[in-house]
Amino acid sequence: MNKIINILLLTLIAASALAATGEETYKTTCANCHEKGLAGAPQIGDKKAWGKLIKEGQVPLTADGYKGVRAMPAKGGRPELTVAEFGSAVVFMANQAGANWQDPDEALLKKISARIEKHAQAKK
Ligand code: HEC
């Protein structure tokens, strides 16, 4: 029994080590535009710009950003980013502007993915 629990724990640790944290993804990808507010991007820590976005809620904001909004490229221009990684980067930015969001868990990821999927179908 203990062995199984150990294997489960190791798997969990390995999985979380592989996925970049929100801050890492922000620094490697999103900061290119969001650090200085390039091309009208809501700047990191800008409470006014982010306040409006935070009010939209975590699910729509993450889904819309993942698909891309006007000058904001889909997935921040990194096609290999997962919804979870992108979502954590959104959390990191929102929290810098006063939100208190958590990295999306399984249930939230499902809702975000469903919204992304719905929009993808509407476009066809
Ligand atoms: C090439 C520049 C660029 C990069 C890279 C970029 N963004 Fe953006 N982002 C923008 C711009 C420009 C907007 C404003 C779009 C608008 O409202 O017109 C924006 C808006 C957003 C929004 C608000 C979307 C909405 O619903 O209004 C979110 C969330 C967001 N970005 C998240 C991210 C995340 C997370 C990353 C990194 C994974 C990222 N962005 C990388 C340019 C960028």
Total number of domains constituting the chain: 1
Q: Which atom of ligand 1 is nearest to the CA of 89?
A: 35
Instruction: Give me the pLDDT at residue 8, please.
Output: 60
Q: What is the pLDDT of residue 32?
A: 97
Range(s) of the domain holding residue 113: 2-123
**What is residue 121's predicted lDDT score, i.e. its pLDDT?**
81
* Type of residue found at 52: K
Protein residues with CB under 6 Å of any ligand 1 atom: 25, 29-30, 32-34, 38-42, 53, 61, 64-65, 69-73, 76-77, 81, 86, 89-90
pLDDT at 59: 98
pLDDT value of residue 77: 97
The residue whose CA is least distant from atom 24 of ligand 1 is 65
Q: How many angstroms is it from 21 CA to the middle of ligand 1?
A: 18
Count CB-CB contacts under 10 A for residue 6.
10
The confidence score (pLDDT) of residue 13 equals 55
CATH number of 46's domain: 1.10.760.10
Q: How far is CA 43 from the centre of its chain?
A: 16
- Among 46, 56, 72, 88, name the best residue to mutate to test ligand 1's pocket (greatest count of ligand atoms within 8 A of Cβ): 72
pTM value is 0.88
Instruction: Tell me the pLDDT of the chain (124 aa) as tens digits.
Output: 677 767 666 655 555 556 789 999 999 999 999 999 999 999 999 999 999 999 999 999 999 999 999 999 999 999 999 999 999 999 999 999 999 999 999 999 999 999 999 977 876 6
- The 3-class SS string of the chain reads CHHHHHHHHHHHHHHHHHCCCHHHHHHHHHHHHHCCCHHHCCCCCCHHHHHHHHHHCHHHHHHHHHHCECCECHHHHCCCCCHHHHHHHHHHHHHHCCCCCCCCCHHHHHHHHHHHHHHHHHHC
